Amino acid sequence: MTKTRFYFQKGLALSEARGDKQAAALQFLNLAEVYLDLKQPDSARYVIEKAQKLYTQLESRVGLMHTQILWADWAQFQKNYPVTIYHSQQALALALALPSLSDLPKIHYKLYEAYKAQGQLPAALAHLQQYLVYQDSVFSQEKENELHSQELKEKDSENEQLRKEKNNQAREIARQKAHLTLEQQKQSLQMALALVSLALFLVIGGAYYRQSQHKKALMRHARQINELNQHLSQKVAERTADLARKNARLSYHSYQNSHILRRPVANILGILQLLQTPDKSPEEQHLWLNCLQKSAEELDAIVAEMARNLDENEDEGPDQPEE
């Protein structure tokens, strides 16, 4: 009993620390029963007052009813039967307003004992009859509740069985889906491998075709190169002869530029210097001008001859060898 009181006190401390008035009031009632069993009415009265105060704040009819029952137990413990009857009637009034009948037999039996102890047998018998009626009702209600609970358990069992069957069906469906997915993946993989094989065949075939075409092109180019090489010597000889002819003509033109063309140019430059000197008579100027005209005509004739030679060379063509 001491251990029980310790556990209830510990639970009370935790409830008060959390601020849970409902739990604290219930712990006070439990402690009251323990104190009454330990024959400590003063301690029981203290915790009952605490519980009644909390249940009044919470406006709990059930809690107040149980508080009145404990007040009746406390008064009965002290053999104060009028107080026991008073608190039992308060508890009865509260219990009749509740939907549950489970506390009515206990209250009527407590009134039966109190009236019997005071010698009020008619009232005691009346409460005894009420006790038996409510006891049967409570028993029937408990039986009905038990049957209902059994039905609920059976329904829960059936629901559990249905849930298991449904889960099994779901797992079977999931397994079949997984199997179908695996088959589809296998088919997809096979199709992918077939496509890859076809792509490799096309790539290899295309590479072989390109290689053969490239080989044919190389052979064609080799033939063309051989043909070009066959004509290369002839063309080189022709170009060499043409270059020799052109070099000879260039040498001739170089000679004309450095000697034949230089002479009339030198004459013209010398006459121009003489014409620039002062103190010349008109006859001298006229003489030098005639010389200048002759040198210019000579230069013009040389230039015309060079032009004719160049025209003749162009008419012969660059690739024609000199006869």
Q: What's residue 258's pLDDT?
A: 65
Q: What percent of the chain has pLDDT over 70?
A: 89
Q: What angle do CA 10, 14, 16 make, to 5 degrees?
A: 115
CA 140 centroid distance within chain: 62
Locus of tokens 């199709």? 191
Q: What's residue 233's pLDDT?
A: 72
Which tokens hold the place of 273?
């210097």
Distance between CA 210 and CA 172 in Å, rounded?
Answer: 55
Domain boundaries, the chain: 2-98, 236-316
* Average pLDDT, integer, range 69-98: 91
Which position has the higher pLDDT, 71 or 298? 71
Compute the CA torsion angle 59, 62, 68, 71 (nearest 10 deg).
-100
**Cβ atoms within 10 Å of 19's Cβ, excluding its own:** 8
Q: Assign 285 a pLDDT band (cuts: 50, 70, 90).
A: confident
* Residues in Cβ contact with 28 at an 8 Å cutoff, skipping those fewer than 6 apart: 12, 47, 48, 50, 51, 54
Residue 50 in this model has a pLDDT that exceeds 50:
yes
Residue 68 in this model has a pLDDT that exceeds 90:
yes
Whether 45 and 12 have beta carbons less than 8 Å apart is answered as: no
Q: What's residue 143's pLDDT?
A: 59
* Residues in Cβ contact with 64 at an 8 Å cutoff, skipping those fewer than 6 apart: 52, 55, 56, 94
* pLDDT, tens only, 106-156: 888 989 999 999 999 999 899 899 889 888 776 565 556 566 677 778 777
Residue 321 in this model has a pLDDT that exceeds 50:
no
In eight-state DSSP terms, residue 322 is P
* Average pLDDT, integer, range 46-62: 91
Distance between CA 299 and CA 305 in Å, rounded?
Answer: 10
Whether 4 and 38 have beta carbons less than 8 Å apart is answered as: no
Specify burial of residue 127 (Cβ count, 10 A radius: 0-12, 13-18, 19+). buried
* Average pLDDT, integer, range 61-83: 92
- Inter-CA distances, 225 with 33, 129, 218, 219, Å: 125, 136, 10, 10
Q: Assign 319 a pLDDT band (cuts: 50, 70, 90).
A: very low
Distance between CA 263 and CA 280 in Å, rounded?
Answer: 25
**Cβ atoms within 10 Å of 68's Cβ, excluding its own:** 23
Q: What is the CATH number of domain 236-316?
A: 1.10.287
Distance between CA 42 and CA 35 in Å, rounded?
Answer: 8
Residue 69 in this model has a pLDDT that exceeds 50:
yes
Q: What's residue 66's pLDDT?
A: 92
Element (H, E) at 299: helix 282-316
Distance between CA 154 and CA 161 in Å, rounded?
Answer: 10
Q: How far apart are the first and last CA of the chain?
A: 151
Which position has the higher pLDDT, 73 or 243? 73
- The highest-confidence range among 1-5, 139-143, 260-264, by mean pLDDT, is 260-264
* pLDDT, tens only, 193-249: 888 888 888 888 777 788 888 888 888 887 888 777 777 777 777 888 878 887 777
Q: What's residue 313's pLDDT?
A: 64
Q: How much is the mean pLDDT over the chain?
A: 82
Q: Report the top-level CATH class of 2-98.
A: mainly alpha
Reported pTM: 0.45
